[in-house]
Amino acid sequence: MIQKIVFLFLIVTVLQSCNSVKEYEKVAINDPDMKLSARTSERYETAFQVYREAAAGANGGKSGGGCGCN
């Protein structure tokens, strides 16, 4: 079920992308809060989560190495 929802979501996304947004229409997209990455100040939280949880990666940050954590 989840796979179907994800697949449907991707299809909708790809279809949407056909209507590309022009640069001058990206006022909202260029808002600093809309950045598709973790905030700079979030790095320490990500670091302690890598220590305290088994999962790591897929968050745009470091995904292994550099510390005695997992």
Please count the residues of this chain forming the interface with another protein, following the rule CB under 8 A: 48
- C-alpha to C-alpha distance for 11 and 7, rounded to whole angstroms: 6
Closest CA to 56 of 39, 2, 3, 48: 48
- C-alpha to C-alpha distance for 32 and 8, rounded to whole angstroms: 29
CB of 1 to another protein, least distance (A): 14
Contact pattern for another protein over residues 3 through 42, marking x by CB under 8 A: ----------x--xx-xxxxx-xxxxx-xxxxxxx-xxxx
The residues of the shown chain that bind another protein, judged by CB under 8 A, are: 13, 16-17, 19-23, 25-29, 31-37, 39-45, 47-49, 51-60, 62-68, 70
